[in-house]
Chains A and B, each alone.
Chain A
Amino acid sequence: EPEVTQTPSHQVTQMGQEVILRCVPISNHLYFYWYRQILGQKVEFLVSFYNNEISEKSEIFDDQFSVERPDGSNFTLKIRSTKLEDSAMYFCASTRQRSTDTQYFGPGTRLTVL
Chain B
Amino acid sequence: AQTVTQSQPEMSVQEAETVTLSCTYDTSENNYYLFWYKQPPSRQMILVIRQEAYKQQNATENRFSVNFQKAAKSFSLKISDSQLGDTAMYFCAFMNAGGTSYGKLTFGQGTILTVHP
A56 & B107 in contact (Cβ 8 Å cutoff)? no
Query: Which residues of B lie under 8 Å from residue A91 when comparing CB positions?
Result: 45
List CB contacts (< 8 Å) of B77-117 with chain A: 91, 93, 95, 97, 101-110
Decide if A31 is an interface residue (CB 8 Å cutoff): yes
Given contacts A42-B91, A42-B109, A100-B95, contact A48 B103 (CB under 8 A): yes
Query: Which residues of B lie under 8 Å from residue A31 when comparing CB positions?
Result: 102-103
Decide if B43 is an interface residue (CB 8 Å cutoff): yes
| Interface range for B | 20 to 34
Query: Which residues of A lie under 8 Å from residue B103 when comparing CB positions?
Result: 31, 33, 48, 55, 95, 99-101, 103
Decide if A14 is an interface residue (CB 8 Å cutoff): no
CB distance from B25 to the nearest CB of A (A): 13
Query: Which residues of A lie under 8 Å from residue B109 when comparing CB positions?
Result: 41-42
Q: How far is the CA of A31 from the CA of B101 in the complex (A)?
A: 12
Nearest B-chain residue to A58, judged by Cβ: B104
B44 & A108 in contact (Cβ 8 Å cutoff)? yes
Given contacts A43-B45, A107-B44, contact A102 B102 (CB under 8 A): no
Query: Which residues of B lie under 8 Å from residue A19 when comparing CB positions?
Result: none
Q: How far is the CA of A101 from the CA of B43 in the complex (A)?
A: 22
Q: How far is the CA of A50 from the CA of B46 in the complex (A)?
A: 22
Query: Which residues of A lie under 8 Å from residue B44 when comparing CB positions?
Result: 105-108
Decide if B33 is an interface residue (CB 8 Å cutoff): yes
Decide if B42 is an interface residue (CB 8 Å cutoff): yes
Given contacts A48-B102, A55-B102, A99-B102, contact A104 B47 (CB under 8 A): yes
Residue in A43, A56, A107 whose beta carbon sits within 8 Å of that of B42 in the complex:
A107
Decide if A45 is an interface residue (CB 8 Å cutoff): yes
